[in-house]
Structure formats: C-alpha cells, structure tokens
C-alpha cells in the first residue's frame, strides 16, 4: 500500500529530516513508528499524506506516485487518509460534533447520515456526552481523542496517527490503542508514531524505528 | 450529483449562517452597500422620468419663418417657392400679420387689441411642419431659408426638446460613470469583507485542505456569501430608491403643477429592480472571487 524508495527530505534551511528511507508497508498492516524527538516521524507521515514533498526519491500510495502528485489530485488522496495531527488542529469556533462533521461535509454526506456517523465516532473515543461542548472546554487528552474521532469518522482505508497518545495517561493510552487495533482489525492500514517506546503495546506488531532521519533496525 | 447538491446546500446554509451570526456587522455592511447602489439607481430612475417627459413634449418639429415687414413681393414669391420645395414638408401654413394679431388678441382675451394698437407690430410668417421629427431636417430647412432676402428669423419649437434631450444624454453619461465607479466600490467593499472573513477562517481552510477539501469546496461558501450580500444590498437599494421617490412625489407634483408640466417621477420598473439586484449579486460574487484569488493564492 505504501512504498518509499530512497526518500530524502531536506527542509528549506538545510536540515535533513529524512535520509534515503526505503520502506514498504502492506495494506492492512499495523505499524508503530518510533524514534527520538526530531528523528523525522512527523515528516514521514506528512510525506505519505503529501503535506510535504520529498526532496528526492519516490513514494507510492495505493499504486499512485505521490512525489509528483498534482495539486488538484490532492483532495482525493487525502479523503482516503485519516489524519491524527500531533498538534490536533481542532477548530475552536465550533463545538465537538461539528468538528467531527467536517470530513463528512467535505465528502458530501447527507446531514442525517453525517450526524449518526459523527455520534458513533464520538462514542468510540468516549466523548459522546461532550458533543455540544466547545473544544476549549476539553482537556488535552479529550482534545486528542476528538482529533482521533475526526480522523476515523469517514472510515478511511489508511489511518496516520502522529503521537496520538502524547498527552494521555497510561489508562487512556491503552484505550486509544484499543480503538486503533479495533480499526486495524476491520482492515484499515494504521501507522502510529510515538517517541515513547513504552507506548507501544507488547505484542508482535511491526515497529519501524527512525534515528536522525534514517531507518534503524 | 447528490454529493454536488449536498455541497451546494452546505455552502448556502453556511453562508446564511455567517450572515445571521453577525447581525450588526451584516446590517451595517448591507446598509452601506445599499446606499452606494441606490445613488446611481436613483439617478437612473430620475433620468428615465425626464426622458419620458422629453418624449411627451408636444413638439412636431414645427419651424416658423418670420418675414421682414419691408420684404418685397419678389422676395415673398421667391420664399413661397423655396418653402414649397423643401424636402420632407408635410404642411406649410401662411399666417398673415393680421391673422397673427387676431390670434394674439383672442389668446390674451383683448378683443380690441387691433383697434388700440396704432400699428400691427407682428410680421407675416410661414409655419412649416415636417413629415417626421428630425433635428437634422430642421437644421437643413433653417439653413436653406434663413439667408434668403426678406427672411427675418427662423425659429424651431424643437430647440427645447433638443436641449432637454442633450441634458438627459449628459445625465446618462454621468450616471453610467457614477454607476461604474460605485460598482467598483461595491466590488472592493464586498471583496474586503470577504478577505477579512477568509483571514479569520484560515484555520478552518487549512484543516479542510488537509482532510481532503477541494478548492471549490473551500471557495464556495465565500462566493455564496458575496453573492448573497450583493443581492440583499441590491434589494435594499431598490427599496431606498422607491422610498425616496415616494417621499419626493407630493413636492415634485406640486412643483410640476406650478409650471404646468406633467412631470412625474416614476418608480423603477420591476425589470429594472431585478436587474439592479442581479447586477449587485454578480458584483458581490466578483468581489468574493477576487478576494479568494488574492488571499488564498499564496
Ligand atoms: N517545517 C520545517 N522546517 C524546517 N525544519 C523542520 C520542519 N519540520 C520539521 N523540521 C525539522 O526536521 C526534523 C524532523 O522533524 P519531525 O517533526 O519529523 O520530527 P519528529 O520525529 O516528529 O519529532 P517529535 O517527536 O518531536 O515530534 C527536526 O529536526 C525538525 O527540526
Ligand atoms: Mg512529530
């Protein structure tokens, strides 16, 4: 589903965030992306969703080479990806349920269907009783869960979660991980980044470790 | 198709929502845009009425040729021939000085005028009516006749009509210029409001782009908003013009009556009003479009 071929990313300013990364992730995999702060985890996820472009190398997502994707094709790539942002990117001018409705409005869902879907997503992350609250009234962990609800509401085939457990205590971390593995069991490809190795649940999951922009195995 | 409809409904509802969530700002914006628009619209309405008046003036393009009192009979005969040889002549009536004095005395209600005047001061005259009203024809006639020996003066009743027409044409020019100026103003005001809206909505725009919104999806609510704002201000301008006419009508009627004129300030027709609102909506849309081009194109 995702293929990186000798991908390097140098940000303007000369910093090499990724260096010659070659990586293959199968459809339906659950992958943990770990590495120290600044290792390039967010950069790698941004390359997959074409938020950033690689400096060199090629990236395929769903057999589509997105290193040179046209701007007009971006929305249709992104609709197949659920994104949990490290900085949440919630909209503070609307309440919880309307934050979750945004992807459904973009996809053109009917209002009635959209509401029931949004409620189901909020239920999954344990925020159903807060649907009328404004995001400022949520704790850091609740905001993070709201961001997850927004990412999963349109049931995308690929879910990219950037530090989804950064602000959560271990109890909620386990809850969130359960949501992701539930999602994974329904066939979704899931990539979760974390700088904290202890957040990775014990098991036989695939772990991809980055070290100063290069793959470390 | 369903998705397309859902998108448009979403954009429309959200732009309505934006208008409604800031009622004061909306109100002031609409009033300022409405006043801006009502200026050229009101002028155009006034000019239309004036044009009607000019059209209704009882001018037949009649030309009166006054003959010198000392004109010789040869001169008179020559003039007679020239008059009847005029192109486009419908009728030529000779009014002798005695007939003219008689008419005048009846007009003034002084039957003994001819008796009281030692000498008839009026000249003989030809009254010439053309087959069609045409200032060029009048000019040609007066050129042909005015330099003839024995002719004192050639006067047309068309003078006033053409003066009024010239005035209306000048007004039309001015109105067009003003309308273009204020249309540009409306585009600018509307565009600036949309630009501010875009700036306050940048987070939403950014997130929407990140989760798969097309440019069209992002721009649509702003375009709807601009068009809706223009439309409402057009309706408002229509209302302002109608109210102004309604307020002015009694005074104008009185004034016109004093001058014995049938001038009435007409209300804008439905089609004029609808054109006004449509143009205003289009201008509002254009303002939004420009704002989107220059704010989102980074
Ligand atoms: N927009 C940018 N411009 C310049 N440099 C950047 C930019 N974004 C990231 N970097 C740099 O690239 C490197 C990798 O950043 P990245 O955000 O991918 O790290 P990360 O592994 O996600 O770290 P963290 O765990 O702290 O989130 C860092 O050194 C960072 O300073
Ligand atoms: Mg990061």
Token digits of residue B129? 């009516």
Out of B124, B156, B188, pick the residue that ends a domain: B156
**Cβ contact (<8 Å) for A75 and B212?**
yes
* Cβ of residue B202 closer than 8 Å to a chain A Cβ: no
The answer to whether residue B258 scores a pLDDT higher than 80 is: no
Whole-number Å distance between alpha carbons of A176 and A86: 15
What's B152-195 look like in SS3?
A: EEEEECHHHHHHHHHHHHHHHHHHHHHHHHHHHHHHHHHHHHHH
Same-domain pairing of B257 and B210: yes
Same-domain pairing of B172 and B268: yes
* Chain A residues closer than 8 Å to B220 by CB: none
Same-domain pairing of B45 and B181: yes
When mean pLDDT is compared over B13-17, B196-200, B248-252, the highest value belongs to B196-200
- B289 phi/psi in degrees, rounded to 5: -60, -45
Number of domains observed in the structure of chain B = 2
| pLDDT value, residue B261 | 61
- Categorize the per-residue pLDDT at B155 as very low, low, confident or very high, splitting at 50, 70 and 90: confident
pTM greater than 0.80? no
**Chain B nearest C-alpha distance from A71 (Å):** 10
Q: Ligand 1 pocket: which of A8, A10, A13, A40 to mutate (most atoms <8 Å of CB)?
A: A40
Same-domain pairing of B169 and B146: no
For residue B106, give the CATH number of its domain.
3.30.70.3040
Same-domain pairing of B266 and B168: yes
Same-domain pairing of B12 and B108: no
Same-domain pairing of B69 and B183: no
Lowest mean pLDDT among A160-164, A170-174, B83-87: A170-174
| pLDDT value, residue B166 | 80
Same-domain pairing of B45 and B70: no
Same-domain pairing of B182 and B129: no
Domain that holds residue B39: 2-57+162-295
Same-domain pairing of B80 and B178: no
Q: What is the mean pLDDT of chain A?
A: 90
Chain center to CA of B75:
47
| pLDDT value, residue B175 | 82
- Considering only CA atoms, which of B198, B177, B193, B186 is closest in space to residue B281? B186
Out of B97, B130, B156, pick the residue that ends a domain: B156
* Chain B residues closer than 8 Å to A121 by CB: none
- Categorize the per-residue pLDDT at B87 as very low, low, confident or very high, splitting at 50, 70 and 90: confident
- Categorize the per-residue pLDDT at A39 as very low, low, confident or very high, splitting at 50, 70 and 90: very high
Mean pLDDT of B66-90: 86
Those residues of chain A whose CB sits closer than 8 Å to some CB in chain B are 49, 51, 72, 74-79, 81, 83, 85, 89, 91-93, 102-103, 105-110, 150
Name the more confident of A208 and B143.
Answer: A208
* Cβ of residue B213 closer than 8 Å to a chain A Cβ: yes
* Cβ of residue B12 closer than 8 Å to a chain A Cβ: no
Out of B156, B180, B210, pick the residue that ends a domain: B156
Ligand nearest the Cα atom of residue A51: 1
Let me know if A171 is exposed, middle or buried by CB neighbors in 10 A (0-12, 13-18, 19+). Answer: exposed
- Considering only CA atoms, which of B35, B26, B28 is closest in space to residue B185? B35
Q: ipTM, 2 decimals?
A: 0.89
Name the more confident of B283 and B259.
Answer: B283
Same-domain pairing of B170 and B289: yes
A15 alpha carbon to ligand 1 midpoint, in Å? 9
**Chain A nearest C-alpha distance from B27 (Å):** 22
Same-domain pairing of B171 and B267: yes
**What share of chain B has pLDDT > 90, as a percent?**
18
């Amino acid at each position: 589903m995702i293929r990186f071929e000798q991908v390097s990313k140098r940000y303007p300013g000369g910093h090499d965030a990724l260096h010659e990364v070659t990586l293959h992730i199968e459809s339906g995999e659950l992958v943990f992306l770990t590495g120290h702060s600044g290792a390039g985890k967010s950069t790698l996820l941004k390359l997959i969703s074409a938020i950033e472009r690689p400096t060199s190398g090629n990236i395929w997502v769903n057999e589509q080479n997105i290193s040179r994707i046209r701007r007009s094709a971006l929305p249709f790539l992104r609709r197949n990806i659920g994104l949990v942002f490290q900085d949440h990117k919630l909209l503070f001018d609307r309440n919880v349920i309307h934050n979750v409705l945004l992807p459904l409005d973009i996809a053109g869902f009917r209002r009635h269907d959209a509401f029931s879907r949004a409620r189901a997503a909020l239920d999954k992350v344990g925020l159903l009783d807060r649907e009328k609250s404004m995001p400022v009234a949520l704790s850091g962990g609740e905001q993070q869960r709201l961001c997850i609800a927004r990412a999963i509401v349109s049931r995308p085939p690929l879910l990219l979660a950037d530090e989804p457990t950064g602000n959560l205590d271990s109890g909620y971390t386990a809850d969130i991980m359960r949501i992701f593995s539930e999602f994974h069991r329904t066939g979704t490809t899931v990539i979760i980044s974390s700088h904290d190795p202890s957040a990775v649940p014990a098991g036989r999951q695939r772990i991809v470790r980055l070290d100063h922009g290069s793959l470390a195995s | 198709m369903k998705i397309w409809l859902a998108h448009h409904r979403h954009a429309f509802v959200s732009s309505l929502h934006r208008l409604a969530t800031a009622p004061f700002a909306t109100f002031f914006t609409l009033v300022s845009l409405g006043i801006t628009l009502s200026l050229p619209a009101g002028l155009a309405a006034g000019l239309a009425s004036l044009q009607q008046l000019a059209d209704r003036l009882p001018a037949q393009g009649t030309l009166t040729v006054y003959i010198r009192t000392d004109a010789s009979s040869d001169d008179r005969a020559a003039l007679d021939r020239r008059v009847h040889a005029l192109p486009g002549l419908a009728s030529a009536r000779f009014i002798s000085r005695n007939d003219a004095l008689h008419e005048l005395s009846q007009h003034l209600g002084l039957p003994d005028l001819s008796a009281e005047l030692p000498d008839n001061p009026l000249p003989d005259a030809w009254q010439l009516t053309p087959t069609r009203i045409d200032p060029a024809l009048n000019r040609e006639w007066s050129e042909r006749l005015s330099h003839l020996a024995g002719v004192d003066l050639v006067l047309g009743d068309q003078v006033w009509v053409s003066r009024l027409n010239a005035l209306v044409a000048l007004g039309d020019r001015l109105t067009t210029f003003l309308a273009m100026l204020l249309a540009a103003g409306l585009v600018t005001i509307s565009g600036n409001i949309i630009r501010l809206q875009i700036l306050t909505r940048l987070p939403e725009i950014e997130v929407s782009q990140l989760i798969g919104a097309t440019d069209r999806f992002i721009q649509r609510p702003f375009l709807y908003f601009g068009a809706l704002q223009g439309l409402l201000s057009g309706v408002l301008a229509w209302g302002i013009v109608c109210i102004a006419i309604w307020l002015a009508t009694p005074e104008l009627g009185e004034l016109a009556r004093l001058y014995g004129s049938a001038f009435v300030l007409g209300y804008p027709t439905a089609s004029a009003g609808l054109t006004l609102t449509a143009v205003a909506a289009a201008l509002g849309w254009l303002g939004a479009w420009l704002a989107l081009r220059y704010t989102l194109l980074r």
